[in-house]
Structure 1
Amino acid sequence: MSSLLLAAPTTTAGTPQLIVAAVIGIAAIILLIVWLKLHPFLSLTVGAGLMAVIAGVPYLKAFNSFSTGLGSTVASVGVLIALGAAIGTLLVRSGGADEIVDTVLAKTPLQRLPWALALVAFIIGIPLFFEVGVVLLIPVVMVAARRAKVPLILLGIPALAGLSALHGLIPPHPGPLIAIAALKANLGMTLGLGLLVALPTVAISGPLLARYMARWVPIEAPALLGEASHEEGQRRPRFGVALLVVLLPVVLMLLATLAETMGFAKSAAGQALTFVGTPLIALLITTLLALVLLGTALGTGRDKVSAIVGSSFGPIAGILLIVGAGGGFKQTLVDTGVGNVIASGLAKSALSPLLAAWLVAVLIRIATGSATVATITASGIVAPLASGLPATHVALMVLAVGAGSVFLSHVNDAGFWLVKEYFGMTVGQTFKTWALMECVLSVVALAFIMLLSLVV
């Protein structure tokens, strides 16, 4: 992501022109999707080109940044989505998702199921990129909602809240680690304070908020991507085997993180752990293992296993294009320099350092759609504000940046389209649930950060 910030702006437009271009571009996308019912992929493409031209980018280069962003997004997130879809389809078709859900439902009262899913997402989300956690948890969330006969949002929002809070607040996620380095904060102190902030934040923005959202958007869980009914009488994997498939990439990535944090990443063993802990490699290993544990080991023929995997790719083609277009629009915003223009002015105002850090990250997040870009840019801008602050407040500033970086996921965020398409929601429903949850999570986290600043 740092390469995005180092890319030279493609325009020399002044600040007012850049702000107007961003506003018009985002508004155009919303109007095209909501009023004209144009497909999101086409709407994002048109909006990106319109915004680039208004910002002063030459016509012949209007889509250069868009193409670059689309390609990089599909190359990174797209491959993870494809592997996650294969794993999820194998879990469903083999009965592994049913086995996990049956076990969880048998041991968890219905009224506590949202809390259980929030906790599961919180735990396994510690070493995971947000997109990886989403594609791994979606099969479990959807099957649980269908079997428990509850609205999808009641269980989906708690899981998403757990993943999002970890993504923005807790190292070893890349955003918090970058902010820790930029602000020269203590990692252990940031992790401890981050957990104090994240736990109540997830509770409020997840299970508690989901009760109301489930009434506003009472949708049922749609058919999973590539889903077919599990055949009665067919052997199902044991709970431990199914759980292994879900947790294996988590364990592999956690081992890579431990190698880095414990200082032996450059040794032979550390390099091996770093390799298998790379998200792409971890998911590829898991997919290959799932072919055996959830396929051939249960008596399913190799041809049928191959067909099951193939069936998982077709339904995600539209998702990949939409997510890629969101990345393209984000790249266009980044390359015009609008995020830096807005943030630089705000950082000079006479605000509380913690509030200023949060607001800077919020504005960049809204402008670029990327939590990581928001964290990187905001950390660099507010770093001077951290000098002279106590160590605890420097750690809290890291958390303030992280909280701001997840505010208001909307049409220029690939995560917005990922959640919308997977959950089968309309744009309006996605704003009422996912986008609102992100806002609540960000504001609640800031409130707890400000409260902690009074006592630490």
Structure 2
Amino acid sequence: MPFPPLRPLTESADPVITAPEPQLIVAALVGIAVIVLLITWLKLHPFLSLLLGSLTAGLLAAMTPTEAIASFTSGFGATMGGVGVLIGLGAMYGKMLADSGGADRIVDTLIARTSHKMLPWTMGLVGALIGLPMFFEVGLVLLMPVIVLVTRRSGLPLMRIALPAIAGLSAMHGLVPPHPGPLVAIDTLGANLGLTLAFGVLVAIPTIVVAGPLFSRFAAQWAPVPTPELFQADEKEGKPKRPSFPAALMSILFPVILMLGKSLAAIFAQDSSAAWKITLDFLGTPVIALTMAVLAGFFLLGVGGGMDRRALQSSLTSSLPPIAGILLIVGAGGGFKQVLVDTGIGEVIAAFATGSGASVLLVAWVVAALIRIATGSATVATVTASGLLMPLAEQLSSPMVALMVLAIGAGSVFLSHVNDAGFWMVKEYLGLSVTQTFKTWTVLECLVSVTGLAGVLILSVFVGG
């Protein structure tokens, strides 16, 4: 997940090793197993399953009951304060986009100008463009109305439309600056930004192709699910007015532009106290950018779609009840992640991987991947791996340091599972079972990660030194 490491409710923000290393690994594995079994076998609600699995993992890792509960609630609260707010704003925006006819306009344009055969490729490109400056969660909530409506109109399986767009978002998040993860690694390892950006785009293109349009053919067979009922427009017979395509497109791109401005300011601003940079930092904050998108939607979508104040109010109000369950599940996923982070299992895995003596790029990927698996956080994986590998980077050439950043980024998205709030977002938005989510989303993330690593290793043959 692309949010900073969450601080537990303890005296220190650092993870605390609560038990011997083998016990920590067993605790994490048992906690994951409990969650999966409760959901798939006992059919318990995912929120309760995540809560019980979190407490089990914490207690087995020698946390006291009070510490385990405090860690879970800390992660739950921090996730809801970040991802939860974004989901709520995204639901409001998505419903307004649907009710105004703006989503119809975009989808009609896409379908009219793209053959059915090329739609998955088009959605992969759209996901990559939206994902360039966006946090993964923000891009997902913005694209979901378009994904759902394109699926309804085209008649293609949901996975053929959804997964290419999600692959574009994920690949950009893990591999390409100005995302926070790659930027942290660039700063920590002293990599060249321009070189890393160029290499990142080269690696991201084949990665999106493999994990998106190509993989979606298999995923559509593994998870033949119906189109979600989310973002259903309030039916109005003969609705006479819809926003123009430029207005509807601008409503989607508006938060993209704001967040891109923040990212570019962070890269190029010489004076961090300059008023223009402070302004861009504020407007480009994800919560502010999405809030501005909703407000801008009143004019770009509401007025353009012939909606009065009563219709806008009705649209926003009706957008929230369908996502109540999603919010609780995503928050609980953040709580489970925090329990694992606070046990210190990420430090244990990192120490093990760095002592393996393998190739520098492979070690970078393995360290990030193992921490990602253990903690469910791409940012925690990136920050931790970058800090541990900093001494190795000092001995490498500039191109190899850039490739190390990408290896870490690729590892940081590997094997998303039940301790990742993104796992639950995708599951609930697309209406998948846990098993189907593993077959689609988890495999997609593995493909993004492994294909990204392969691209890095291939480039290293030509620029190594």
TM-score, normalisation: structure 1: 0.97
* Cα distance in 2 for residues equivalent to 1:19 and 1:414: 21
SS at match of 1:454: helix
* Cα distance in 2 for residues equivalent to 1:295 and 1:9: 47
Q: AA paired with 1:432?
A: K
- Shift of the alpha carbon at 1:390? 1.2
Contact 1:146 1:220 (8 Å CA) reproduced:
no
Alignment of 1:80-91 (within 5 A): 80-91=86-97
- Aligned pair in 2 of structure 1 residues 140, 230: CA closer, same or farther (>3 Å)? farther
- Shift of the alpha carbon at 1:342? 1.0
- Aligned pair in 2 of structure 1 residues 386, 231: CA closer, same or farther (>3 Å)? farther
1:358 aligns with 2:398: no
SS at match of 2:416: coil
| Residue in structure 2 matching 1:71, options 61, 71, 77 | 77
- Shift of the alpha carbon at 1:11? 5.0
- Aligned pair in 2 of structure 1 residues 231, 38: CA closer, same or farther (>3 Å)? same
Q: Any gaps of 5 or more consecutive residues in structure 1? A: none
Alignment of 1:269-418 (within 5 A): 269-418=276-425
- Shift of the alpha carbon at 1:297? 4.7
* Cα distance in 1 for residues equivalent to 2:399 and 2:189: 12
- Shift of the alpha carbon at 1:432? 0.7
- Aligned pair in 2 of structure 1 residues 11, 183: CA closer, same or farther (>3 Å)? closer
Alignment of 1:28-427 (within 5 A): 28-225=34-231, 227-229=233-235, 231-264=237-270, 265-427=272-434
Q: Which moved more, 1:230-239 or 1:42-51?
A: 230-239
SS at match of 2:419: coil
Contact 1:92 1:230 (8 Å CA) reproduced:
no
* Cα distance in 1 for residues equivalent to 2:66 and 2:93: 41
* Cα distance in 1 for residues equivalent to 2:13 and 2:278: 30
Q: AA paired with 1:447?
A: A
1:448 aligns with 2:444: no
Deviation per CA, 1:107-141, whole angstroms, max 9, x where unpaired?
11110111111011111211100000000001101
Contact 2:385 2:408 (8 Å CA) reproduced:
yes
- Shift of the alpha carbon at 1:393? 0.8
- Shift of the alpha carbon at 1:245? 0.6
* Cα distance in 1 for residues equivalent to 2:124 and 2:41: 35
Q: Any gaps of 5 or more consecutive residues in structure 2? A: none
Deviation per CA, 1:41-81, whole angstroms, max 9, x where unpaired?
00000000011111001123221100000000000111111
Contact 2:6 2:338 (8 Å CA) reproduced:
no
SS at match of 2:462: coil
Contact 1:145 1:220 (8 Å CA) reproduced:
no
Which residue matches 1:15?
Answer: 21
Q: AA paired with 1:180?
A: I
Q: AA paired with 1:394?
A: V
Percent identity over the alignment is 55
* Cα distance in 2 for residues equivalent to 1:339 and 1:230: 53
| Residue in structure 1 matching 2:440, options 420, 429, 433 | 433
How many residue pairs get aligned? The number is: 456
Deviation per CA, 1:223-279, whole angstroms, max 9, x where unpaired?
224543354233111101100110000011111222222215531122212211111
Contact 1:296 1:302 (8 Å CA) reproduced:
no
Deviation per CA, 1:352-396, whole angstroms, max 9, x where unpaired?
010011011111111111111111111111222222111111110
Deviation per CA, 1:303-347, whole angstroms, max 9, x where unpaired?
221111011111111111100000000000000000111111110
